[in-house]
Structure 1
Amino acid sequence: MRPLNRPIFLNIFKIIEVINMSKVIHNFAQRISRETGNNETGVIVFGLQSLASLIFNYVVLAVLSYFLQVFPHTIIAALASSSLRIFSGGSHASSSLRCTIFGTLVFLILGRIAVTLAFFTSTAFFLSLGISIAVLATAAIFKYGYATTHKKPLNSYAHGIKLRTIAITVLFAWLAVILYLSYFYILSLQSRVFMASALTGIAWHTFCLTPWGHKVNQIADKQMQKLRL
């Protein structure tokens, strides 16, 4: 008897898992729709899928970063990046699984970089680094911030400006906290961990907005496809 191809065998279980999860989400969405009187079940399903994916991604990231001893660095970097990505977009993988794998790998690396940066005790270092990254991030958001939301055209030009404005506001909020900590609490290791982690997350998001970021994501995506992930 011919042995079963292992990658295909694993893919079968992946498909079954996705189908079962989709069924659970769809049933839950229908229940919410009935109880709230909202007939847009598709929108509810999309929201639940996004929430489930977000929770799963952070759980995986939290577990791995904990064992690699970069938990606070990794989570803060991910939160900083995600808070900007919501309003300004960025490069995407072709599937949620590839997004989880690539994102987890990237943020674990960023966490390790943040560990190194946190050793610096110079206020001038964090001030200059924070302002430099903020300037680049602002330019990237205005130039490359997405013109579509969930692959659908924005309702108007004003809508796009509004999203970019919110993203810039969130960016400046992060920067304000970083500048405050760098000036008043530079000797605190916890403060330096927060600043270093947030800056690496913002820097990565800035890169993801650019054509180079999209190119790197495409290369990683193709490699994962070759590995049948």
Structure 2
Amino acid sequence: MSLEVLSKNISNNLKRELNLDEDKRSIIEYGLFAFFHMGISILLVAIVGAIFNVMIEALIISFSSAILRKFSGGAHASTAANCAIVGVLIAVIPVYIIKNMSLNSNYIIFIGILLYIISFIIIYKLAPVDSPNKPIKKVDKIKRLKRGSIIILSIYMIIVIFNIITSYVSKKNVFLLYSSCIYIGVLWQVFTLTKFGHFIVNIIDSLFIKILNSRGGNNNEKIKQ
């Protein structure tokens, strides 16, 4: 049973039990789907991250991207499964590579300055990026989401500054690694706001669909034989 079907069934049961109208049922269905999808995505990131010994770092990337996405929007995969797979790849692969690298605070500061300047500009110009299924038309909501995106990005910047200072005082590079994880989450999320980001996400999404369809076709052929 897919998440969509599960959310719909639960919302229909609640509609009958609580005598709700269709609008409230739809809101509940969307909320349930978002909750289930978020839970499964976090669980997958945690499991795969643990396998590669980068669970904490992968979760930092995942949460950094997801919280900012809540306000800024961005490109989406066509299915919940594809979205979860992309989330795992983005959260695990980069940190698995940089965890074994020697991190330098000067490089972290320089990269951070560039990243935040570019991110603030892109978010100010593009956010929030809606989807065809849920367009954002109200000017007040657009302003609120844009302001929220800038606030979240500012909070991330403060956390990074704190991590860099803590790393300098404690002489522990793990705080630089955590800052790098925030960078990756912000970079990916801001990238998905751009047209090129949409293009790349669509390519990845189409690739996963072809792989799943081909595997499904092969399974059907085996059953027929």
TM over 0.5: yes
- 2:212 partner SS: coil
Instruction: Please name the residue that 1:136 is paired with.
Output: 118
Distance 1:23 1:161, change over 3 A: closer
Matched residues, number: 211
Report deviation, 1:198. 0.8
Distance 2:5 2:136 in 1: 33
Distance 1:203 1:59 in 2: 22
Residue 7 of structure 2 is aligned to residue 25 of structure 1: no
Gapped runs of 5+ residues in structure 2?
Answer: 214-225
**TM-score in terms of structure 2 length:** 0.83
Amino acid at match of 2:103: F
From 104, 128, 134, the counterpart of 1:146:
128
Larger deviation, residues 206-215 vs 141-150:
141-150
From 48, 56, 61, the counterpart of 1:77:
61
Residue 33 of structure 2 is aligned to residue 49 of structure 1: yes
Distance 1:166 1:159, change over 3 A: same
Alignment of 1:90-101 (within 5 A): 90-101=74-85
Paired residues of 1:73 and 1:114 also in contact (CA < 8 A): no
Paired residues of 1:90 and 1:146 also in contact (CA < 8 A): yes
Report deviation, 1:149. 6.6
Distance 1:109 1:157, change over 3 A: same
Instruction: Please name the residue that 1:185 is paired with.
Output: 167
Report deviation, 1:38. 10
Distance 1:201 1:39, change over 3 A: closer
The C-alpha deviation readout for 1:194-227, integer Å capped at 9, x for no partner, is 1111111111112111111111111111111211
Instruction: Please name the residue that 1:6 is paired with.
Output: none
- 2:74 partner SS: coil
Distance 1:207 1:121 in 2: 24
Instruction: Please name the residue that 2:223 is paired with.
Output: none
Distance 1:39 1:209, change over 3 A: closer
Distance 1:19 1:194 in 2: 34
The C-alpha deviation readout for 1:46-67, integer Å capped at 9, x for no partner, is 1011100100011011001101
Instruction: Please name the residue that 1:3 is paired with.
Output: none
Report deviation, 1:22. 3.6
Distance 2:5 2:151 in 1: 40
Gapped runs of 5+ residues in structure 1?
Answer: 1-15
Paired residues of 2:57 and 2:181 also in contact (CA < 8 A): yes
Distance 2:134 2:56 in 1: 35
Distance 1:28 1:97 in 2: 25
**TM-score in terms of structure 1 length:** 0.81
The C-alpha deviation readout for 1:142-162, integer Å capped at 9, x for no partner, is 222235378333352232122
Instruction: Please name the residue that 2:103 is paired with.
Output: 120
Distance 1:51 1:105, change over 3 A: same
Distance 1:204 1:147 in 2: 14
Instruction: Please name the residue that 2:143 is paired with.
Output: 161
Paired residues of 1:142 and 1:164 also in contact (CA < 8 A): yes
**Identical pairs, percent:** 22
Q: Using CA pairs under 8 Å that are at least 6 residues apart, name the structure with larger relative contact order, 1 or 2.
A: 1
Report deviation, 1:114. 4.0
Distance 1:163 1:57 in 2: 23
Instruction: Please name the residue that 2:216 is paired with.
Output: none
Larger deviation, residues 51-60 vs 152-161:
152-161
